[in-house]
Structure 1
Amino acid sequence: MDWAETISDSLKKSGISFISYVPDISIHQVTKLLEADSYFRVVPATREEEAIGIAAGAYAVGRRSAIFMQSSGLGNCINAIGSLCIVCRLPIPMFINVRGELGEFNIAQVPMGRATRPVLDAIGVRHYTLENLASLSDMVDGALDLCYASREPIALCLSPLLHRGSLA
């Protein structure tokens, strides 16, 4: 089982069936897998802040949801995370592909990639970096359990070490 299949399996085990994301090559391997699986309702968004709103709406009507984005998109939704997810205690897991790290080819990705974890720390969002397939299932399962038990958003940062830069 590869990293995308492992994440899909963990989402199912946690009862997460609603996915929102901003289409991007950095998360395409997992979102195309989710879209092909009838278990999931996958809704693309035009901006990451919109994806937060979509996931919050799904939670409001009783559906567990998750969001997929890349690190540059995190900057587009900080206020929505802080003023909606944190304040309203919405347990929304966010899978963030961290760009600007090992092997990055696009220098424009470096600043937000470097800032991703400090920004999450600044607003009080717990985050875990997913770096290898050996521990991936345990880490994702544990983070999803914590997210729902604590009723807080949580970030799962996808390292290039996890997918070896193979994004498409």
Structure 2
Amino acid sequence: MADTIIPMTVTDQTYLAGSSWQDTVSRVLREGGIQQIVYVPDAGHAVAIRDAIADPDITDVVCTTEEEGVGVVSGAWLGGQRAALLMQSSGVGNCINMFSLLTMGGFPFLTVVTMRGEYGEFNPWQAPMGLATQNALELMGITVYRVDDPSDVEETVSAALDTAFLAGGRVAVLLGQRLIGRKKWERN
């Protein structure tokens, strides 16, 4: 009998229970005045998404594609609200053309990106965009801050909020695969 493939699991079960770094991301976004959490569902952002859904002061906006999120967070700013776009690194490639909206409109922008295609990646399809994510963001005029250690999450996300909403910049926080945990397929 052939092996049965079980859907993707995470070697570190923090996605289900939450982890200190995930809780920190969620808390710092709330404390930084984020009023809209815009996202395409992703296990790495599960805690921030769950918390946004539960918080009556935050509007959670689920998108079908990441590029929709760029327009939503820009519209939030025009409506007087701070928003953050949560996505996976593979979604950055979907947003390249929409990032021009940020430049032309002069909108502040904050995205928090869970990385794939890096350390211990089992899925070769994730590697090309994972390797290109930082360069793609920088080519589109977005400042990149990277986090690989849980002790750097609070300061980095807080600095990104200031860069976006106090300095009017466009910034992405990349949460490295060493931080978020390796994913793997399991066989029975």
Query: What TM-score, normalized to structure 2?
Result: 0.82
Is 1:103 equivalent to 2:140 in the alignment?
Answer: no
More strand by share: 2
SS in 1 for 2:157: helix
Query: Match of 1:44?
Result: 62
For residues 20-60 of structure 1, give each alpha carbon's deviation from its aligned partner in whole angstroms, at most 9, with x where no partner exists: 11123343343223222333211100111111111111111
Gaps of 5+ in 1: none
Query: Match of 1:54?
Result: 72
Runs of at least 4 residues of structure 1 off by over 3 A?
none
Query: Match of 2:167?
Result: 150
Moved more, 110-119 or 11-20: 11-20
Gaps of 5+ in 2: 1-18, 184-188
**Length, aligned pairs only:** 165
Task: Please report the RMSD computed on the Cα atoms of aligned residues, expressed in angstroms.
Answer: 1.6
CA shift, 1:138, in A, is: 0.9
Query: Match of 2:89?
Result: 71
Q: Kindly indicate whether the alpha-carbon contact (under 8 Å) linking 2:23 and 2:47 is maintained by their aligned counterparts in 1.
A: no
SS in 1 for 2:118: coil
Percent identity of the aligned residues?
Answer: 36
Query: Match of 1:113?
Result: 130
Q: Kindly indicate whether the alpha-carbon contact (under 8 Å) linking 2:22 and 2:45 is maintained by their aligned counterparts in 1.
A: no
Q: Which amino acid aligns with 1:74?
A: V
Structure 1 segment 115-130 matched on structure 2, within 5 A = 115-130=132-147
**Over alpha carbons, which structure has the higher Rg?**
2
SS in 1 for 2:37: strand
Structure 1 segment 128-139 matched on structure 2, within 5 A = 128-139=145-156
SS in 2 for 1:117: helix
Q: Kindly indicate whether the alpha-carbon contact (under 8 Å) linking 2:118 and 2:177 is maintained by their aligned counterparts in 1.
A: yes
For residues 85-107 of structure 1, give each alpha carbon's deviation from its aligned partner in whole angstroms, at most 9, with x where no partner exists: 12212112001111101121211
Q: Which amino acid aligns with 2:141?
A: G
